[in-house]
Amino acid sequence: MPELPEVETTRRGLQPHVEGRRVLAVVLRRADLRWPIPAAIERVLPGQRISTIERRAKYLLLHTQAGSALIHLGMSGALRVLAPGVPVGSHDHYDLLLDTGRVLRYTDPRRFGCLLWQTPGTLHPLLAELGPEPLSADFDGDYLWRRAHGRSAPIKTFLMDQRIVVGVGNIYAAEALFTAGIHPLRAAGRVSRARCAALADAVKRILEHAIARGGTTLRDFISPDGLPGYFEQELTVYGRAGLPCKRCGHTVNMITLGQRSSFYCPHCQR
């Protein structure tokens, strides 16, 4: 699944092509994705100018005066800005026709993404209970330590809870815990304040670096300019079960945690 850096890479790739552009028409080729597509997408969005494209967690919002289109890429979704006349594929589910003549096209073989609508002055229920952005000033070691107090959940599960902090998915949680030297099964409430500070700092540094490098290339994700991300070449622990730890040489282990594969070094992470 595209994680925060991939979604941010998408936002930055789309920004110069969609901000300030008017949506001339919406072409829906199906009535639903993960959820039904609201009628407002076809009724209200055409004719509106996109003022900004924002990322909140792993969602993209196309803001207009009349409201905002709320987009999630799901497990396999991708957005492209295409020249007019590009043939439509079997998994191309909707187009936004822009006043430049180009088309913003959404492709999603698995259809786990979404296209929803947020009316002005409201917050969509999907966004209502989200925690702070990991790259914002609201997320730091003190915040993490306060929220972890008394919690028995494994620190990796805790870190991936979108109510605690948004957008820290499986890959980046594993990498941050390795960098901070924290075992993924350690109870969140048993992580010291100093180690929470190290973990929050690791999350920020790893996400910023991944964004700068274009995100992690996943099987179903390609960035809007057609180039894959490069961060996967630098992963230190994720996906390396059975291989030597890049830091100490001990064998990297894998466990299943919350129905996800978790990778860690038993020597470096305690």
* Separation CA 256–CA 248 (nearest Å): 23
* Separation CA 49–CA 57 (nearest Å): 23
* Active-site annotation holder among 11, 21, 58, 195: 58
Q: Is 260 among the residues known to form the active site? A: yes
Token pair 């064998």: residue: 251
Strand partners for 95? 27, 105
Pairing label, strands 59-64, 103-107: unpaired
* Separation CA 78–CA 2 (nearest Å): 9
Which backbone phi and psi does 159 adopt, to 5 degrees?
A: -65, -30
* Separation CA 84–CA 225 (nearest Å): 16
Give 157's contacts (C-beta < 8 A, 6+ positions apart): 188, 257, 258
Please answer whether residues 219 and 232 qualify as being in contact, where contact means their C-beta atoms are separated by less than 8 angstroms.
Answer: no
* Separation CA 202–CA 221 (nearest Å): 24
Q: Is 246 among the residues known to form the active site? A: no
Q: What is the residue type of 142?
A: D
**Other CB atoms closer than 10 Å to residue 140's CB: what's the count?**
17
Q: Is 58 among the residues known to form the active site? A: yes
Give 155's contacts (C-beta < 8 A, 6+ positions apart): 148, 177, 182, 183, 184, 185, 186, 187, 188, 191, 199
Q: Is 3 among the residues known to form the active site? A: yes
Nearest to 150 by CA among 107, 189, 199: 189
Question: Catalytic residues, which ones?
Answer: 2-3, 58, 260
